[in-house]
Amino acid sequence: MDTILILTILIVVGALAFDFINGFHDTANAIATAVSTKALKPRHAIILAAVMNFAGALAFTGVAKTITKDIVDPFSLENGTIVILAALLAAITWNLVTWYYGIPSSSSHALIGAIAGAAIAAAGVSALNYSGFIKIIQALIFSPILAFVVGFLLYSIFKIVFKNRNLAKTNRNFRLIQIATAALQSFTHGTNDAQKAMGIITMALIVNNYQTSDDIQTWVQVSCATAMGLGTSIGGWKIIKTVGGKIMKIRPVNGVAADLTGAAVIFGATAIHLPVSTTHVISSSILGVGSAHRLKGVKWGTAQRMLITWIITLPISASLAAIFFHILNLFF
């Protein structure tokens, strides 16, 4: 078996591992509000999220194509196989570190930063496709801001509409609605996040001359959807606790507003083929809802720690990828 084929297989395995980890890392955000309000039992929430993630991952491929070609050009990437493998190792490493400490970091930031870092290590700053890369970075920056604003506005509307309703009855009704919004948010997570691994595998297939277009093959789509669904089935309890309880005390009406906001922003990004961070969007939507509910009720210390992690993820994952690239380059 030749070296190129072995490396390609390693990349496919690594990409599926990334999707698997993403399943229990990022999907925890999608069901955190429903679990914290007891709208769903943890086991039922995870099963629901796994099914909806799988369905969402099969529904679209536009984001995958963006990952394939907009950060670097796979058709001219120098040492492309090593670059992609190094990026995967770096992104997986950072995801596991943040998961271990229960920090809702962004898998998207980790992967995109890692691809950029490995490519720069291989061929310098000219390796980046700057127009596409900047577009992706803009989406990663503005999507949580949009989620915060929409969450704030939506919950402000909720407060006016349900001002004179019986609180206990309203919470009971919204707890039922939350089942649907958790499912919707999990579906939209699958439409965006699962595609990132699809893009990585497709990039590797192009680099190693196994295909000549950026089309996402069916086996790639199904395998990535399956990996994310299986990862989701494990759950991510530490992150569920952080997102579901350490940002603010979430009631069902808060959860519905946050879920609807997160789903709308994520699906909007998917529709225009842009990768965004589910972690950033969902956490920001909760912060927006919490600010509209009661500003002092938001645990801004937790929000500050999350913000610091978000900021450092790109440079750390890029640096890790550069290190992994130089190590792998010694052997291949």
Q: Which of 289, 200, 278 is nearest to 247 (CA)?
A: 289
Average pLDDT of span 209-230:
92
Give me the pLDDT at residue 112, please: 94
User: 92 vs 85, 89, 99, 173, 174, CA distance in Å?
Assistant: 11, 5, 10, 40, 36
Q: How many domains does one find in the chain?
A: 1
Q: In the chain, how long is the greatest CA-to-CA distance?
A: 71
Domain with 178, as residue range(s), is 3-329
Cβ neighbors of 296 (< 8 A, separation 6 or more) are: none
CA angle, corner 139, sides to 138 and 144, nearest 5? 110
Q: Residue 212: which H helix or E strand, with range?
A: none
Q: Which of 281, 302, 324, 269 is nearest to 113 (CA)?
A: 324
3-state DSSP helix/strand/coil percent for the chain, to nearest 5? 80, 0, 20
Q: Which of 54, 63, 112, 67 is nearest to 88 (CA)?
A: 112
What pLDDT, in 10s, does the model give residues 106-156?
888 899 999 999 999 999 999 999 999 999 999 998 999 999 999 999 999
Residue 163 burial by Cβ neighbours in a 10 Å radius (0-12, 13-18, 19+): exposed
What pLDDT, in 10s, does the model give residues 35-53?
777 788 877 888 888 889 8
What pLDDT, in 10s, does the model give residues 184-215?
988 998 899 889 999 999 999 999 999 988 89
What does DSSP assign to residue 162? T
Cβ neighbors of 17 (< 8 A, separation 6 or more) are: 88, 92, 227
275 half-sphere exposure, CB direction, 13 A CA radius: 31
Identity of the residue numbered 89: L
Confidence of residue 237 (pLDDT cuts 50, 70, 90): low
Does 103 score more than 90 pLDDT?
no
Q: What is the pTM of this model?
A: 0.87
Q: Which residue has the higher pLDDT, 180 or 36?
A: 180
The string over 130-151, giving b where at least 16 C-beta atoms fall within 10 Å of a residue's C-beta and e elsewhere, is eebbebbbebbeebbebbbebb
> Rounded to whole angstroms, how far apart are CA atoms 121 and 179?
46
Mean pLDDT of the chain, nearest integer: 86
Give me the pLDDT at residue 26, please: 65
Give me the pLDDT at residue 280, please: 84
